[in-house]
Amino acid sequence: MSEMDLSFKAAAASETGGELLDAAPARPKIWRNILHHPGLMLGLTILGILVVLAVFAPWISPYNPYDQHLPQRLLPPVWVHGGNAANWLGTDHLGRDYLSRLIYGARVSLLIGFGAASIGCLIGVTLGMCAGFFGGIIDRVVSFILTCQLALPGLLLAMALVFLIGPSVGVVILVIGFLHWSYYLVVTRAATQKIRDLEYITAARAIGSSRLQIMVTEILPNLFSEIIVIFSLEVGVAVLAEAALSFLGVGIQPPTSSWGLMIAEGKVSVFLRPWLVILPGIFIFLLVLAANLVGDGLRDLMSNESRR
Amino acid sequence: MAGRPLLEVRNLSVTLPVGERKLHAVRNVTFTLERGEALGVVGESGSGKSMTSLALMNLLPRNAIREADVLRLGEHDLLAKDRQEFSRSLAGKRMAMIFQEPMTSLNPVYTIGQQIMEMTLPGPARSAKDIRDRAVYLLERIGIPDAGGRLKQYPHELSGGLRQRVMIAMMLMNEPDLLIADEPTTALDVTVQASILKLLMELRKELGMALILVSHDLGVVSQSMDKIAVMYAGELVETGPVADVLGAPQHPYTQGLLASIPAARDGGARLPSIPGTVPALFALPEGCVFAPRCIHVQPQCRTIRPPVQSAQNDHLYRCVMAPDSQRLSLAKPPSAHTSTAKPSPDTLLSARHVGCTFTIRAGMLAKARSLTAVDDVSLDLAEGEIVALVGESGSGKSTLARILLGLQAPDTGEVLIAGTPVQSVPPFERAKLVQPVFQDPYSSLNPRKTIGQSIGRPLELHGQDSPAERKKIVEQTMELVGLPKRLFNNYPSQLSGGQRQRVAIARAIILKPKLLICDEPTSALDVSVQAQILNLLLDLRDELGLSYLLITHDLAVVDCVATRIAVMHRGKIVELGNKDDILSSPGHPYTRTLLGSVLKVDMPALKARADHAPEMQAHTGLLR
């Protein structure tokens, strides 16, 4: 089929004085590539399920995650001796349904993951593009800020900040976001430096584009592939950071449900009732794994696409 | 051994898997090479010439499939040797290869001495001192003064030309029987190119070594090769003694290639060009690979694979048409330029004593050095003129272009555009007067924008028209530069180099500027496509009344289109005048060097060589 296509097109093109062209449209190809990338598909599937759970938590979860049934506390999951089908994954130390709390925990984790990654993205990309595009003194100042940021002990600082400001989901998002922009900066700075000297930028200047216009309309679209990859990886990092903060007691506060908090609450009985720790652990693992799979997969696809 | 050629290649094919498809990079290539013979392989990008040389050196990508009936060097059967065996016994010893890019083919962390001497290991036959002596001798032989001291230098301390000489010295350490040079001079300046080629030819004679020179440049190959092989789309379409093939080309592709070389023409007439570009051969066509672009195409060309015919003894070609020396000229290009725009007295652009100096600082504490890129340059350009700015890399041409475009302020002097200093013209006004066209069609278009977006962006920015009107104007402009409208929503990565350059030109002319500053607009393109783009520039001058400042290192292009020439050397304009005056009687020594370095296909000389050969009698109609 393609043989016929090719020779036909060659003939048609030569008649019009045109040239041969690989006529496959760009967009559908990307979708086909996604479908052919098992890692990316797995990551997207897990992420999709978790997003659906989080968004429709009130309808999906079997119980209200805040309802306490003290007589029925610390029930084991259904497959462990003593478990019952009413609470599939058992209950916690206050008798709250564990499955419902896990489903509601997805809301917090995803919100913090995407929220913090977005804030970091905004800071890092802005600084990185400015440093890369203007160079000189701006580049040196930004690089100095970056060095300072890298020298800070991230988790300790986050703990201190959350402790000082007072813990809430919003504060945790802001603090984690403000501490995770270095990757964005490094990558966008280098990519901007490379693109800055390309001829289409000069062409844009020659038609009278301002610097801001060049940065937004010419350079930024070329950074999307890199930014998306870092973004998905940073989502995983932020989820872990939230879990760590909550585990240490300075993140999400009870009774709000968070996977890190659930691990912290279950750790006293980790030897007797390991599922209290393992179940939220599995969810954190799945979310971070999915984020990393999506990030790696997108990087593969993007590098394929940008290859001429 | 006697009577056996040094290199025998029969039915060599190379297939590259690309995704699920197979690219037939080389198909049924057959040739032989005697000891001490020099073969030039020419073809445009994608013709398979580099793949052929890589196949000989066993350097193909791992997933490539190499097939051949016979592939032998002297008594060695190359097909029977695997990679390891080949690199142990033959590579670098009996046959060696030089690559195009001297900047990347030497390892930056070793001294050149280490790299040269590494080619030969000390053994019973050669002591370490012998090896060192030979390295010094070779470096001196290839024209590197004070070779003993240079051995300790690192590649970055040498210029491109010197690095290429070092590469040659490396490859000659073991006196190979066959040297393959893949575009050895393409990355170098013209004056350096000539000296490197001369050196290669001298060394070849001295060492009695056979040479395969791969090049896209017919001029380079025509100079001193014995035989020539013309490749197209993976096939050898014509081969034979240089004088025969270039003097009486039989294959339409060879004829087109020769005709596309820019040369002086009366009043800037159009160049003959081959329509279309080299196809990527994923599917083997039933007929002739050249049929879609051939102007002599006949019905059977599309159905049968043309046979190999002989025009003279060794002069073979693959075409259905009978040998016929008279069928030389291409069909005349359709529309010759009837009127050449007469330069009017209005001065469009004027540079007055422009200078520009860069300060280079190697590190925070290093002493700043200053580098004068442009030094007291004065240049006028009148409406309708095509002024060529000629010079080598590093002569300050591109910096001057940026200053003239108003993108960089000169340190001294001033640039007047239509009578106003360019720095005080608002950017939007400036954009309607002067626009750039760049060399690299790959980096001059934003890969994330469609063709329509790229071309329409100037209109959008200037906010003149409604989206619907913009689309109309963009489509009209695309038509003007010869781009089919269906490409409107395609991305640059789907276009060929020539098409991209058309897009860049469309973007430059859409604001209807008066002057285009073209920085090497064709040097990244193949010869046949170069002719198409030069024709387009000439057409646009006539239709839109454009003027051009054409920055180039290619004197053939200059000769073809320019009205005046400015020669730039080390930041200064050393000569300025009418094209004919400068080309016929160059005044400055540098201009003379530049002119002397041009390697043209010298037809009269080739004809003379052909006439002297006794067997070159009238052989036409051999198969009739």
In the numeric block, the tokens 């988790």 are attached to: A155
- Which of B359, B408, B443, B474 would you mutate first to test chain A, the one with the most A CBs within 10 A? B443
Residues in A touching B21 (Cβ below 8 Å): 2
User: Helix B497-509 and helix B451-462: axis angle, to 10°?
Assistant: 10
Domain A39-306 homologous superfamily, CATH: MetI-like (1.10.3720.10)
What pLDDT was estimated at residue B610? 55
Domain tally, chain B: 2
Whether the pLDDT of residue B190 is over 60: the answer is yes
User: Helix B497-509 and helix B527-544: axis angle, to 10°?
Assistant: 20
Residue B20: CB atoms within 10 Å: 6
Structure tokens at B125: 């036959």
What pLDDT was estimated at residue B438? 87
Mean pLDDT of B3-27: 83
Residues in B touching A218 (Cβ below 8 Å): 446
- Tell me the nearest-neighbour CA distance from A18 into chain B, angstroms: 6
- Tell me the nearest-neighbour CA distance from A181 into chain B, angstroms: 25
Domain end among B258, B291, B312: B258
- Out of A6, A14, A205, the one facing B293 most closely (by C-beta) is A14
For residue range B307-321, what is the model confidence (pLDDT) as tens digits? 888 877 788 888 887
Residues in A touching B458 (Cβ below 8 Å): 207
Residues in B touching A7 (Cβ below 8 Å): 283, 285, 292
- Within B426-521, residue ranges assigned H as helices are 427-431, 451-462, 467-480, 497-509
Among the residue ranges B44-53, B180-189, B266-275, B501-510, the one predicted with the least confidence is: B266-275
In a domain, B403, yes or no: no
* Peptide bond just before A255 cis, omega within 30 deg: yes
Whether the pLDDT of residue A212 is over 60: the answer is yes
Cβ-contact B42, B216 below 8 angstroms: yes
Q: B288-323 burial, b if ≥16 CB within 10 A, otherwise e?
A: bbbbbbbebbeeebeeebbeebebbeebbbbbbbeb
Contact B436 A203 (CB under 8 A): yes
More confident call, A5 vs B168? B168
Residue of B nearest to A9 (CA): B292
Reported confidence tier of residue A19, pLDDT bands at 50, 70, 90 = very low
Phi/psi for B110 (5° steps) reads: -110, 150
DSSP reduced 3-state for A283:
helix
Q: CA-CA-CA-CA torsion for B275, B278, B283, B287, nearest 10 degrees?
A: 50
More confident call, B91 vs B404? B404
Phi/psi for B9 (5° steps) reads: -125, 120
Mean pLDDT of B269-279: 70
Count chain A–chain B contacts defined by CB atoms under 8 A: 121
- Tell me the nearest-neighbour CA distance from A218 into chain B, angstroms: 7
Residues in A touching B442 (Cβ below 8 Å): 308
In a domain, B407, yes or no: no
Which residues form the domain of B488? 441-512
Residue of A nearest to B458 (CA): A207
- Tell me the nearest-neighbour CA distance from A180 into chain B, angstroms: 28
**Distance separating alpha carbons of residues A157 and B337, to the nearest angstrom:** 74
* Length of chain B in terms of residues written: 624
Contact A7 B292 (CB under 8 A): yes
Residue B360: CB atoms within 10 Å: 9
Mean pLDDT of B405-430: 85
What pLDDT was estimated at residue B345? 62
Cβ-contact A256, A262 below 8 angstroms: no
Taking any CB pair shorter than 8 Å as contact, residues of chain A touching chain B are 2-3, 6-7, 10-11, 13-14, 16-26, 198-200, 202-209, 213, 217-218, 221-222, 224, 306, 308
Domain end among B512, B535, B557: B512
**Distance separating alpha carbons of residues A138 and B290, to the nearest angstrom:** 55
Residues in A touching B444 (Cβ below 8 Å): 198-200, 203
In a domain, B287, yes or no: no
Residues in B touching A17 (Cβ below 8 Å): 275-276, 482
* CA separation, residue A304 to residues A22, A133, A301 (Å): 16, 26, 5
- How many helices (H) and strands (E) chain A has is answered by 14, 0
Whether the pLDDT of residue A52 is over 90: the answer is yes
Residue of A nearest to B491 (CA): A26
Contact A204 B293 (CB under 8 A): no
Residues in B touching A20 (Cβ below 8 Å): 276-277, 279-280, 496
- Out of A25, A198, A202, the one facing B407 most closely (by C-beta) is A202
In a domain, B505, yes or no: yes
**Distance separating alpha carbons of residues B451 and A200, to the nearest angstrom:** 13
**Distance separating alpha carbons of residues B505 and B508, to the nearest angstrom:** 5
Quick one: which H or E segment has residue B353? strand B347-360
Contact A200 B445 (CB under 8 A): yes
Structure tokens at A220: 């930024």
Residues in B touching A22 (Cβ below 8 Å): 494
Strand-pairing partners, residue B144, are: none
Q: Sheet harboring B412-417: ordered strands across? A: B369-382, B347-360, B412-417, B420-421
What pLDDT was estimated at residue A145? 93
More confident call, B45 vs B139? B139
- Tell me the nearest-neighbour CA distance from A306 into chain B, angstroms: 8
Share above pLDDT 90 across residues of chain B, in percent, rounded to a whole number = 3
- Tell me the nearest-neighbour CA distance from A296 into chain B, angstroms: 20
Reported confidence tier of residue A57, pLDDT bands at 50, 70, 90 = confident
Residue of A nearest to B297 (CA): A11
* CA separation, residue B95 to residues A250, B55, B178, B534, B540 (Å): 70, 13, 5, 40, 49
Residues in A touching B491 (Cβ below 8 Å): 26
- Out of A21, A199, A306, the one facing B495 most closely (by C-beta) is A21
Residue of A nearest to B485 (CA): A18
- Out of A16, A202, A218, the one facing B484 most closely (by C-beta) is A16
Q: Sheet harboring B210-215: ordered strands across? A: B95-98, B178-182, B210-215, B38-42, B227-232, B235-241, B316-318, B308-310
DSSP reduced 3-state for A294:
helix
Cβ-contact B546, B509 below 8 angstroms: yes
* Positive or negative: CA dihedral B148, B150, B153, B155: negative
Contact B461 A203 (CB under 8 A): no
Whether the pLDDT of residue A128 is over 80: the answer is yes
Share above pLDDT 70 across residues of chain B, in percent, rounded to a whole number = 88
Contact A207 B462 (CB under 8 A): yes
What pLDDT was estimated at residue B342? 52
* Positive or negative: CA dihedral A7, A11, A17, A23: negative
Domain-wise residue ranges, chain A: 39-306
What pLDDT was estimated at residue A38? 87
Cβ-contact B350, B379 below 8 angstroms: yes
What pLDDT was estimated at residue A46? 93
For residue range A164-182, what is the model confidence (pLDDT) as tens digits? 888 888 898 999 999 899 9
**Distance separating alpha carbons of residues B411 and B507, to the nearest angstrom:** 30
Domain end among B232, B258, B284: B258
Cβ-contact B349, B434 below 8 angstroms: yes
Mean pLDDT of A280-302: 87
Mean pLDDT of A33-51: 88
Whether the pLDDT of residue B341 is over 70: the answer is no
- Which of A19, A196, A201, A225 would you mutate first to test chain B, the one with the most B CBs within 10 A? A19
DSSP reduced 3-state for B95:
strand
Reported confidence tier of residue A29, pLDDT bands at 50, 70, 90 = low
Whether the pLDDT of residue A158 is over 60: the answer is yes
Quick one: which H or E segment has residue B592? helix B589-596
For residue range B446-480, what is the model confidence (pLDDT) as tens digits? 888 889 999 999 988 888 778 888 889 999 888 88
* CA separation, residue B438 to residues A203, B187, B407, B505 (Å): 9, 18, 14, 9
More confident call, A2 vs B75? B75
For residue range B569-586, what is the model confidence (pLDDT) as tens digits? 888 888 888 888 888 888
What pLDDT was estimated at residue B334? 45
Cβ-contact B271, B260 below 8 angstroms: yes
What mean pLDDT value characterizes chain B? 80
ipTM: 0.71
- Tell me the nearest-neighbour CA distance from A190 into chain B, angstroms: 17
* CA separation, residue B204 to residues B176, B181, B199, B210 (Å): 10, 12, 8, 7
Cβ-contact A115, A180 below 8 angstroms: no
Contact A200 B21 (CB under 8 A): no
CATH number at residue B93: 3.40.50.300
